[in-house]
Chains A and B, each alone.
Chain A
């Protein structure tokens, strides 16, 4: 890529963001402007802003890579994102939230529920959960974004984090939610164009929709067949290894995996001669690129098949680890988790009337379908392209099997250079738009909800300077956190925050919108039980996505989980959401009905 052209495009991009921030700053006069963009946002801007805040870089790169590894079952997450994340969210949550929010004169999501239930405790607790846990999520997004900047522009990781934070600070602090939403709409447009072109390119490059799907469908059989053809050669080498008593008990896959490790250790030592004749011949065999690819592909596929993988065009086998992770963590957790996210729910209150929300549904649905649908489809289809080019599947085409590298590697190798630049802007936009929404939500939760409403008991309009200071503080905390967060925290922090929001806020949010018999006590009980039970589940049974042992179970009992499989693969939302919902219903029915204006 021409570095001067790249730099020029980045400068123009940042210039446009700064201009939008300045325009929003000029139009921000009241706290309604700063917190709710003046409640007069255009439906197109609202829909794109909602979608761009919803979808971060990790959704495109991370989940795209996950789809490359585990296949098209993620299409059900696309469906959940469109149906629950847009249709249900806009129609069944957005419309009543806008009307009720206006009536209650609420300016933030915690204030909306706090005022509905006439409870400072609910207001304060929600703000406390947001202020405490949203920085984790935001720093996870910041880390993923900085890693992307680091690799794309060869910048130092720490410098990348600082540049990113400073850029976002300028337009969030200057322009409030107006600045965020204007910038989101601009960035959402870039994301839409980039992902639409990617989908067209990908299908075009690989020979069209049906032939590509068929080829992907046949890939596991091809991989198995190639390995079968290579097996006689491997068996001959294994015979030389017969001095090892264990060899006879091993399957050919186990033996090959062992030899792979020995070959890797040998190549690391460079000059040393192979320790055995078998290893020498195995190293020789791997010098043939085709044989090495066949071995690597087969080993990866047989490993993930043990967890339930049945092919990239098949849903994982029922009852396996992969089945539970995809169904509960990915489809239900991420799909339903989006419904009670404070930074998304507040956007329903930014439009003037129901008409804007009706119109925004059209753009929102198309936008999400295009962005996540492309990411997960192209992720799966990269296997066909990599296999056609090098005889390797996606996971064996990138170094260390790092799933996050699959989509960028595909873009760099398969698509024209100019598209690489557009895609870089797409990812930059996805990162900045999500982060700016989070900074704004954290700043308003701290300034408006926690300090003004809960501590100072102020009910009128907010002080804009205080909001700006709080946005800045949340930015500082997130930036500092991102320097200290452990490696591999991105997916865990994201799922933790989404899970906590869904189980703690969703039942009382639905109750406020649709159930007249709901009471303040029921809402408080549901919030406390949902939060406490999810904390228990995450620390004793399952860390989100089941990748690490549950913290306290590991610390106190020395085991990864207090429950056995399949429980430890089931996401916290699936278990805890019914419990917090039941708590809301039971406690509301047991307490005195409350009189509210209709």
Chain B
């Protein structure tokens, strides 16, 4: 995959991309969530 033979390395490459997508997806999904908004009360 991606020109890399060692599965430990290409899975590391993939894990970086997936974890970034996880951050983007989580943030987008909860973009307006604001439970426990103590400061604004």
Residue ranges of A at the interface with B (Cβ–Cβ < 8 Å): 39-40, 71-73, 75-76, 78-79, 82-83, 86-87, 91, 99, 102-103, 209-214, 217, 311, 313-315, 352-355, 358-366, 369, 373
Complex Cα distance, B24 from A360, in Å, reads 10
**What 0/1 readout, one digit per residue, does chain B (20-33) give for beta carbons within 8 Å of chain A?**
10111011101111
29 A–B contacts from the bound complex (CB under 8 Å):
A72-B4, A72-B9, A73-B12, A75-B9, A78-B12, A79-B12, A79-B19, A82-B19, A83-B22, A87-B26, A102-B39, A214-B3, A311-B6, A313-B6, A315-B8, A353-B37, A353-B38, A355-B32, A355-B37, A358-B27, A359-B31, A361-B23, A362-B26, A362-B28, A363-B27, A365-B19, A366-B20, A366-B24, A369-B19
Q: Chain B contacts of A212 at CB under 8 A?
A: 3
The reply to whether A313 and B4 form a contact with Cβ atoms under 8 Å apart is: yes
CB distance from A193 to the nearest CB of B (A): 17
Q: Chain B contacts of A365 at CB under 8 A?
A: 19-20, 22-24, 27
Chain A residue with Cβ nearest B3:
A213
Chain A residue with Cβ nearest B29:
A358
The reply to whether B15 and A361 form a contact with Cβ atoms under 8 Å apart is: no
Chain B residue with Cβ nearest A316:
B8
Chain B residue with Cβ nearest A209:
B2
CB distance from A68 to the nearest CB of B (A): 15
Chain B residue with Cβ nearest A351:
B39
The reply to whether B6 and A82 form a contact with Cβ atoms under 8 Å apart is: no
Q: Which of the listed residues A76, A210, A212 has the most CB atoms from chain B within 10 Å of its own CB?
A: A76
- Total chain B interface residues with beta-carbon distance under 8 A: 31
CB distance from A530 to the nearest CB of B (A): 28
The reply to whether B27 and A361 form a contact with Cβ atoms under 8 Å apart is: yes
Complex Cα distance, B4 from A71, in Å, reads 12
Q: Chain B contacts of A355 at CB under 8 A?
A: 31-34, 37
Q: Chain B contacts of A315 at CB under 8 A?
A: 6, 8-9
Complex Cα distance, B2 from A212, in Å, reads 10
A76 partner, pick from B3, B12, B17, B35, beta carbons under 8 A: B12
Q: Chain B contacts of A91 at CB under 8 A?
A: 26
Q: Chain A contacts of B36 at CB under 8 A?
A: 99, 353-354
The reply to whether A358 and B30 form a contact with Cβ atoms under 8 Å apart is: yes
Q: Chain A contacts of B9 at CB under 8 A?
A: 71-73, 75, 313-315
Q: Chain A contacts of B3 at CB under 8 A?
A: 209-214, 217
CB distance from A1 to the nearest CB of B (A): 33
Q: Which of the listed residues A103, A352, A362, A373 has the most CB atoms from chain B within 10 Å of its own CB?
A: A362
Complex Cα distance, B9 from A362, in Å, reads 25
Q: Chain A contacts of B27 at CB under 8 A?
A: 358-363, 365
The reply to whether A366 and B23 form a contact with Cβ atoms under 8 Å apart is: yes
Complex Cα distance, B11 from A76, in Å, reads 9
A213 partner, pick from B2, B20, B39, beta carbons under 8 A: B2
Complex Cα distance, B9 from A72, in Å, reads 7
The reply to whether A72 and B39 form a contact with Cβ atoms under 8 Å apart is: no
Complex Cα distance, B22 from A364, in Å, reads 11
Complex Cα distance, B12 from A582, in Å, reads 30
Complex Cα distance, B40 from A353, in Å, reads 8
B2 partner, pick from A83, A210, A354, A363, beta carbons under 8 A: A210
Chain A residue with Cβ nearest B34:
A355
Q: Which of the listed residues B2, B13, B15, B23 has the most CB atoms from chain A within 10 Å of its own CB?
A: B23
CB distance from A411 to the nearest CB of B (A): 22
CB distance from B16 to the nearest CB of A (A): 5
CB distance from B9 to the nearest CB of A (A): 5
Complex Cα distance, B33 from A35, in Å, reads 26
Q: Chain B contacts of A311 at CB under 8 A?
A: 6
Q: Chain B contacts of A40 at CB under 8 A?
A: 39
Chain B residue with Cβ nearest A361:
B27
The reply to whether A72 and B13 form a contact with Cβ atoms under 8 Å apart is: yes
The reply to whether B35 and A354 form a contact with Cβ atoms under 8 Å apart is: yes
B4 partner, pick from A78, A213, A361, beta carbons under 8 A: A213
Q: Chain B contacts of A211 at CB under 8 A?
A: 3
Are A362 and B4 CB-contacts (below 8 A) given A72-B12, A79-B16, A352-B39? Answer: no
Complex Cα distance, B20 from A79, in Å, reads 9
Complex Cα distance, B6 from A298, in Å, reads 22
The reply to whether A358 and B26 form a contact with Cβ atoms under 8 Å apart is: yes
Are A76 and B39 CB-contacts (below 8 A) given A315-B9, A361-B27? Answer: no
Complex Cα distance, B1 from A209, in Å, reads 11
The reply to whether B33 and A354 form a contact with Cβ atoms under 8 Å apart is: yes
CB distance from A94 to the nearest CB of B (A): 12
The reply to whether B23 and A364 form a contact with Cβ atoms under 8 Å apart is: yes
